[in-house]
Amino acid sequence: MQIIDGKKIADEIKAEIKEEVSRMLEKGQRAPHLAAILVGHDGGSETYVANKVKSCEQAGFQSTLIRYEDDVTGEELLQRVHQLNNDASIDGFIVQLPLPKHIDEQKIIEAISPDKDVDGFHPANVGRMAIGLPCFVSATPAGIIELLRRYRIDTRGKHCVVLGRSNIVGKPVSLLMAQKATPGDATVTICHSRTANIADITRQADIIIAALGQPEFLTADMVKEGVVVIDVGTTRVPSAETKSGWKLKGDVKFDEVAPKSSYITPVPGGVGPMTIVSLLRNTLQAAKTTVKS
């Protein structure tokens, strides 16, 4: 059994990106520039955006944080999005979700130019990914694929069972795992809340990607020996062991599933650290296109 160390891989990739940024600067090009729009003062969103900004700085990117209060109108946000679309000094930008309820989130997402949509949430990017065209893949599925690649896990012709059909993980990672690519080329089964006899299916899996958001859902009796397990779950559960009073739990009962696995991601320290790296990679890619054109 080998632990897939997402933290280590993420650090390696950050170093590679930093290296590439240095080379861009040496050539007289400017550094990649990511902008983030943050609305309101939700604790989770504040933390996520702060981490993104910090990671940008570590990688040598320029970053711009644009803040709005909760009472911003959809129209104001749309105008700002259009402005960022047309600002040649910004390579990519994100709008931190969720937005306040009075704002049509989907309308904001679709206003972002697909060429600057480094979160990969615009339907045109989702569609391009589905068709197998160059695109920005969203952070979590891209991070999962990169972990499989870096650990050289054989996926071709394997049976990959995806637990969950969310737009941000289950559906896109299913498409990526099924497509003719490496990693990829797997036989993929998508399971969800309506799936009957789910254990009969997971027991057939060579690879399980668990993204249901149900803490410790996947137990030892549900997997076969040698399975590869990617745990995307990050549910906060109350804990007396931590200062904060909670800790993160994955969708996998790690202690009992790990001994049967060939590879397994821990929570935290597995898929999580890869998501910010995916955002940096997308922004770098956007910058290279901008700089080139």
Task: Tell me which residues are annotated as active site.
Answer: 52, 96, 119
Q: How far is the CB of 9 from a copy of itself (least distance, A)?
A: 26
The closest alpha carbon to 98, from 170, 49, 54, 169, belongs to: 49
CA distance 212 to 192: 8
Q: Which is nearer to a copy of itself, 190 or 267 (CB)?
A: 190
Q: How far is the CB of 194 from a copy of itself (least distance, A)?
A: 5
Q: Which is nearer to a copy of itself, 188 or 208 (CB)?
A: 188
DSSP string spanning 95-141?
EPSPPPTTS-HHHHHHHS-GGG-TT--SHHHHHHHHHT-S-PPPHHH
- Residue 72 C-alpha from the chain's centroid: 27
Q: Which is nearer to a copy of itself, 25 or 133 (CB)?
A: 133
CA distance 109 to 57: 25
Q: Which is nearer to a copy of itself, 18 or 158 (CB)?
A: 158
**Cβ-based burial of 185 (10 A; exposed 0-12, middle 13-18, buried ≥19):** middle
Q: Which is nearer to a copy of itself, 123 or 259 (CB)?
A: 123
Q: How far is the CB of 185 from a copy of itself (least distance, A)?
A: 5
Residues of this chain that interact with a copy of itself (CB under 8 A) are 106, 122-133, 135, 156-159, 165, 167, 171-172, 174-175, 178-180, 185-192, 194-196, 201
Instruction: Determine the 3-state secondary structure of 293 from DSSP.
Output: coil
**Cβ-based burial of 141 (10 A; exposed 0-12, middle 13-18, buried ≥19):** buried
Q: How far is the CB of 73 from a copy of itself (least distance, A)?
A: 23
CA distance 133 to 219: 37
Q: How far is the CB of 155 from a copy of itself (least distance, A)?
A: 10
The dihedral over CA atoms of 240, 271, 214, 109, expressed in degrees to the nearest 10, equals 120
Would you give the DSSP letter of residue 280? H
The token duo for 162 is 């995806």
